[in-house]
Structure formats: structure tokens, C-alpha cells
Chains A and B, each alone.
Chain A
Amino acid sequence: MWDLADWHPYTRQALNWAVIAGSVLLCLLILPTRLPGMELLNTGPNWLLIWVVAWSVKRTVFQGAIAGLALGLIQDGMTAPDPSHALSLVVVGVMTARLQKQRYIKEDFISIALIVFGMAVVAETIMALQFSWQSLSDNSASRELGSIWLYHQQVALCSAILSSLWAPVLYYPLNRWWEQLQDIEQPQL
């Protein structure tokens, strides 16, 4: 096994960016699948949301927002851009970064699962609010207010349960990697 500490800082940085891009790509590729065990009422885990939470937990509000914006734009491209998924993921990134997890919540899987649960509900609610706004401002909009919120209950609950259960799968390796990087870079500062 190579020792990361011996590497040139730039190589390490490049590897870090490769890991980031790779994990995002992995999330994007899992999104359209509905594997057995990852599906409740045709709803799968919201992998991009899990990624944004894992990213923002130990980062600044600005970094969380940027990650949410980028992933939201990608998800817009993969489904439909109107209303935007970017808004909900930006809010999730900002809120997660604001949580100050290190200070208030103990570091473990349970707390990550809890955060993801809450954020999934928040994200779906923001989507539902956007759809409601559309249906209120535009009379010919195809979704009705009642059906939006009925569907929201189902989606928010399924998404929250599945995302929080699957969150550690993504969070654990990413967190391990970033912690290792930090340990190596800390003494040099």
C-alpha cells in the first residue's frame, strides 16, 4: 500500500478531486436504477442529497451551497429543469453546513442518518413548494395543489427513510478519505 503522506501535495489534491468527481458520477449512475431493496413505492434514495450532506457536514456554508448548486444543475439536466432541483440542494447544503455538527451532535452514523432524514424532507418540501407556486401562478399548470401535497407526503417519507438508511454507504468511505487527507495535511500547516 502506498503511503499517501509521501505523495506530492498536488498529486494528493488531484487524487482528491478525482475521488470527488468519481463519487458524484457514481451517485448519478445509481440515480436511474431501482435496485431491489432500494425502492419503496417506486421511490429510490436521493443519492445526490446524501452526497451533498456528506460533503457539507464539515465544510463552510459557501462550499455546501456550491456543491448543492452543481449537483442540482446536473439533476435538472437528467430529469426536467422546471422547477429546479438546484434550489432544494443548495438549501440542503447551506443548512447542513450551518448545523455545526462537530459542536452539537456526536460523530456517528446515526447522526448522519438523522441529518439526511431531515434534509430529505426539507428537499422534497422545497420541490413541492415550487410546484405549488407554479400551479398558483399559472392556471394552465398541470399539477393540482391537492395532488401535489398528497404526493409530497408519500415521496418525502419514502425518500427520507431510504436516503437515511443508505446514507452511511456513501458517507463512511468519503468521510474516511477526507479525514485521512486532513490528518496528513494538518502537521504541515
Chain B
Amino acid sequence: MDLWLDTSLENSRKVVTEINEFFNANNFRFPLDARLKLLLLFFVLVLTLSSKSLIFPLTIIFLCLLSLSFMKINLKKVIVRISEPLFIVFVILLIKSIFSQGEILFEFLIIKIYKGGFLEGLEISLRVLACALSVSIISLSTPFNEIISSLSWFKVPKTLIEIMIFTYRYLFMLLDEALVIYCSQKQKLGYSSFKNSVRSFGYLVGALLIKTFEHCESIVQAMKQRGYEGYVPIRKEKSFKKIEVIGSLIFLIIIGMVWWL
């Protein structure tokens, strides 16, 4: 139990630290207005979900891989990042291939792989991969503040946006606190048995809750002194560049044609 909690906290620190890394300036090699990126992502996801052939998701996967190399993002990092969808893809392909009926594609010992199920599984798997890569590209190439101001431009409720801003702001701070409390618990013989570990983990969450309230009180105090009246100002978006709009339209027409094929 001790070992797995250690790993869990280390993993979550790694995961959350990676979020920060993704938004370091080196990764931004996709100079397109964030609103256009989100619009393009929306259309790509809708077209991928509604496509009836394997060609469209394959095209999207190819374009995503091309963009990743253009953006000079380490492919290994992306694979680690999309490990969950990759795992799901593997399971779906396996279950669909084995649990179907009909024409047998090939047989290995007593396991039969059915053609119909395999093709159906492949279709879903490619859709999952295409969507995961598309979302990854947008999130890896767009700073969080740009996503927020774009969402505001798309008229996402202001309250929701404000909560996103606060969440992003305090995410890293709370994770650091979690690690400090965890180390302190271990030194005081926490996590020594299974029952003790569940209790220690509960106390960790409780201690974070207390920290949350304490931070909240001091943060609001500080914000009030700076004129906070319950609303966070959000950056206004500039007008679109013609070349970017035309480029995006051409891209949409091309992928629309591929979808139609």
C-alpha cells in the first residue's frame, strides 16, 4: 500500500508537472488563432465521429502525426499522453474480434478472430485514435489563457470560465501541498498497513481540504484589496487574420471532401 501510494503521488506530480511543461514556449509552433483551432477541432471531431469509412480517421491520424513532427513535439511523450485511449483501443479491438460471429479471419490455437468484428473494432479504434491525437495537438499547442479567452468568445458562461481560471491557478499549489503532507505522514508512521493507509490517505484529502479553505480565505482577502468584486476580467480577443481564416476554410473543405469519399 505504501509503495503504491508513493507511486500514485509521484505519478500525479509527474502528470500535473507535464501540463506546465506542455505550455512552455518551446511547444508553441502552431501559430493559429486559438478560436480557429477550437473551431477546426470541433469540425474534425464531428466529422470523425460521423465518418463511415476507415479513410477519414486514417487521414486525420496521418495529418496529426505530420503536425506533431512539424511542431517538433516528442512522439514518445505523445504516446505516453494518449496511453489511456491506446489501451482502450487495444481492448475494443480484442473484444470485438473475439466475441463476434461470422467469417473467420484467422485462427490461433482455440482463439478465433472474426472478420466482421475485427473490422468493426478497427473502425472504432481508428476513430478513438484520430480524436485523441486531434485533441492532443490542440492542447499541446495552445496556452491555457488563450483557450480560456476563446471559450469566453464562444459565449461559454462566465461563471464556468472564472472557475476554470481559479482551478488552473491553484492546481500546482495544491499538488505541492499534497506531496509535503504525504512526506510528513510517512515520517509519522502513516501508510504502515492497508487500513492505516486508507485512513492516512483520507487524512491527506482532509488536510488538503483544510488547506483549501485556509488558502481561500487569504486569497479572497488579497483579491479584495486589489479590487475584486466577484468577477475576474477576461482578455478580449483580437479580430481574425484573413489569411488564417482562409487557410482554415481550405483545410475544412479538403477534409470535408475526404469525409465525403
**A and B: bona fide binding partners:** no
